[in-house]
A and B are shown apart, each in its own frame.
Chain A
Amino acid sequence: MAYTTENNQSGLMAKAIKEGIFAGLIAFGMFLLFVGIETYQDINNQLVWRTRWGLLAVFVAVAAIGRFVTVGFIKPHLDARKLAKAKTGVLEISDKKSFFHRHFLKIALVFLLCYPFLAMLIVGRQGSLKYVDNFGIQILIYVMLAWGLNIVVGLAGLLDLGYVAFYAVGAYSYALLSSYFGFSFWLLLPMAGILAALWGVILGFPVLRLRGDYLAIVTLAFGEIIRLVLINWTDVTRGTFGVSGIAKASFFGIWSFDVGAANNFNKAWGLPSSSVYYKMFLFYIILALCMLTAYVTIRLRRMPIGRAWEALREDEIACRSLGINTVTTKLTAFATGAMFGGFAGSFFAARQGFVSPESFVFLESAVILAIVVLGGMGSLTGIAIAAVVMVGGTELLREMEFLKHIFGPDFTPELYRMLLFGLAMIIVMLFKPRGFVGTREPTAFLKERKAVSGSFTKEGHG
């Protein structure tokens, strides 16, 4: 604001105060019942309620002050900076990217390869367990799932709300075949993928003639059917009790990670007995599986089938007029996505040692889809970042002790996970409506590779 005058300034302040009060009122209305009143059970096991005016006041104050600061200071500052930039004629987008930006993928890969050892060096052997398992493996499982779903949703534009079904098929394939027949992890990993792909085709055949919302609803139903079958087919799946005592993955059959086994990995290498080595091994397996998913996706995008998927997302009718069999194209997308879901599922079962239908609820599908959308549909890098933010963020909330200083000592940040999540997603979508990486890398070029702006790509209509 180059022409800011005294008058203008005071007008801005008045506006900021007005909007701040307004935001506070809205926050009061919204949180009155959510935060202001709490129900609990008293000593006689009766449900009673009490008020939490203090906490409510903090929520309202945060909203009001936040709005006041945004309108009164942050926005004018940003506007002034934009104006100054426009005046000097500096373009927002410069061609020169920083070293970190250009080599981001290589740096990320090296970091991931060193990550377990770094964690061990910094926080010690037992302390690193949390970082390798809760952060590392957990995030990478979601990265893999989201990359798998990306093929279906991001590339082919088929909205699949039941992706977790294939994850479940993979997990139960490993759990059941390993407990009933004693097959090893390395045999069952590809088998779980193939079985999941098969289910993808079985689901795909009747369903893929539907489009858009209708497809989404039917895939959602399919996810629920698989879960209900797992719950109710008690003879095989043991219902809600789940399958426990699933065999661990072995070091390619050479060493075992079972404590009692003669060829125990830790003993063979003279390492102290600790589960951290198994976790590290699992970390590298899921890292390798993620890399496989990324490699296959990148290669497939440059194949005619991958281009057909993207063309299908852009315009299905045009695809048919060009002689592309849309049914088989959709089926391959579905099956490929399902296959990676199956891989991730069998890995999940091996890591957890226990599977139950509880792990495959609709919320999981929603989280995976949210990661894909948040990352930018079709972009592997964006999706990986989104997975770190979404899954890592959830884990990180458990560590946020400092929030207790603001909201009072009984504040448990995990309980507000979904609230903060929703807030974070709204903020990201406001500023980055196409996800973290909104541009699309072309699969072929004549002279120079130019990223395609997200405003041209379509989301697909099923």
Chain B
Amino acid sequence: MTTGTTTMTKETILKVEHLSMKFGGLMAINDFSFEAKRGEITALIGPNGAGKTTVFNCITGFYKPTMGMITLSRSNGKELLLERLRDFEINKVAGVSRTFQNIRLFSGLTVLENLLVAQHNVLMKASGYTILGLLGLPTYKNAAKAAIEKAEYWLNKADLTDRADDPAGDLSYGAQRRLEIARAMCTSPELLCLDEPAAGLNPKESLTLNALLRDIRDEGTSLLLIEHDMSVVMEISDHVVVLEYGQKISDGTPDHVKNDPRVIAAYLGVEDDEVEEIEEKLDKGIIEEGAV
């Protein structure tokens, strides 16, 4: 586990400032700010209905936030305001890629085709926006070959090489999750956003997923993930942000967050025995007054 000591030196890749999102009269997110560092795994956690997916949808362009600024710094030094980009440009221009809570694969296409569709923009350019490709020029052929190689690389990482020619809808649930991550990685993102990647996985699959995510981080892609499965969050995250009722209640290393009484209260609720426990801790001076 990487500890928070090195985070200060790392540069910020994603900066969310004063983000608010209103649905009619409901304030789903209220003045939420956090930062994600380059080369780290940042986890966004919180109880059900806390607004995690809404934050995600704002970052990845599926919602336009009511207020706030989302700045993405690319490795070439360019700074982009994500809330001003159109939905598909978030991936194309800003290099932010995402997966979905309810898996969204192209189930009628094969596994390999799913990964090729993800390389659409690169291939489109190589094929001269289809015209040169239709004429059969070698630039497109080479690009197509490179695309298949890249797909193979990620198939290998996601342990799906044997299933490459099967329809994506035919894969098991765990394999579909891995494929969705592989597909997102085929767009060569700088920031990969995962919406509950471990949902519905068994413990063994969860472990493989952890390995895959660490692998992705070590190759230089920053990750932002929403997760319920604490074994995943605590195991692999470098930095955890906790959200409750649209507001940030804690922010720091996994250890810090784990021991934050506000987080414990938010997750477990404050039941009778819980109250005693927290009072006990208050007596011992572990947490400061007024936190609960």
- Known: A324-B120, A442-B165, A447-B165. Is A317-B104 also a contact (CB below 8 A)? yes
Contact B107 A304 (CB under 8 A): no
Report Cα–Cα, A325/B120, bound state, in Å.
Answer: 10
Residues on the B chain within 8 Å of A308, using CB: 117, 120
Contact A321 B106 (CB under 8 A): no
Report Cα–Cα, A448/B116, bound state, in Å.
Answer: 16
Contact B92 A303 (CB under 8 A): no
Contact A310 B130 (CB under 8 A): no
Contact A446 B187 (CB under 8 A): no
Rounded to whole Å, the gap between the CB of B80 and the closest CB of chain A is: 14
Give 1 or 0 for each of A1-18: 1 = CB within 8 Å of chain B CB.
000000000000000000
- Comparing B166-174, B204-212, B228-236, the segment that makes contact with chain A is B166-174
For residue A323, CB closer than 8 A to chain B, the reply is yes
For residue A412, CB closer than 8 A to chain B, the reply is no
Rounded to whole Å, the gap between the CB of A445 and the closest CB of chain B is: 5
Contact A303 B130 (CB under 8 A): yes
Contact A450 B88 (CB under 8 A): no
Chain A residue with the shortest CB-CB distance to B125: A304
Residues on the B chain within 8 Å of A450, using CB: 110, 165-166
For residue B278, CB closer than 8 A to chain A, the reply is no
For residue B87, CB closer than 8 A to chain A, the reply is yes
**Max chain B C-beta neighbours (<10 A), residue from A304, A307, A457:** A304
Report Cα–Cα, A398/B112, bound state, in Å.
Answer: 49
A interface residues, how many (CB within 8 angstroms)? 40
Contact B164 A304 (CB under 8 A): no
Residues on the A chain within 8 Å of B116, using CB: 304, 307, 443-444
Q: Which of B104, B107, B134, B165 contacts A446 (CB 8 A)?
A: B165
Q: Which of A304, A317, A448 contacts B120 (CB 8 A)?
A: A304
Contact B152 A446 (CB under 8 A): yes
Contact A325 B88 (CB under 8 A): yes
* A-B contact number at CB 8 A: 143
Chain B residue with the shortest CB-CB distance to A450: B165
For residue B113, CB closer than 8 A to chain A, the reply is yes
- Known: A321-B97, A444-B148. Is A299-B109 also a contact (CB below 8 A)? no
Residues on the A chain within 8 Å of B32, using CB: none
For residue B105, CB closer than 8 A to chain A, the reply is yes
Residues on the A chain within 8 Å of B134, using CB: 296, 299-300, 303
Report Cα–Cα, A442/B89, bound state, in Å.
Answer: 28
For residue A320, CB closer than 8 A to chain B, the reply is yes
For residue A133, CB closer than 8 A to chain B, the reply is no
For residue B183, CB closer than 8 A to chain A, the reply is yes
Report Cα–Cα, A449/B168, bound state, in Å.
Answer: 14
Residues on the A chain within 8 Å of B87, using CB: 320-321
For residue B200, CB closer than 8 A to chain A, the reply is no
Interface hits, A283-308 → B, CB 8 Å = 296, 299-300, 303-305, 307-308
Contact B187 A323 (CB under 8 A): yes
Rounded to whole Å, the gap between the CB of B58 and the closest CB of chain A is: 14
- Known: A310-B108, A446-B152. Is A303-B100 also a contact (CB below 8 A)? no
Contact A307 B110 (CB under 8 A): no
Q: Which of B97, B152, B170 contacts A456 (CB 8 A)?
A: B170
Interface hits, B116-156 → A, CB 8 Å = 116-121, 123-124, 127, 130, 133-134, 140, 148, 152, 155
Contact A314 B106 (CB under 8 A): yes
The 26 listed contacts between A and B (C-beta, < 8 Å) are A296-B134, A310-B109, A314-B107, A317-B62, A317-B104, A318-B104, A319-B88, A320-B62, A321-B87, A321-B184, A322-B97, A323-B89, A323-B92, A325-B88, A325-B92, A442-B109, A443-B116, A445-B165, A446-B155, A446-B161, A450-B166, A452-B110, A456-B108, A456-B169, A456-B170, A458-B108
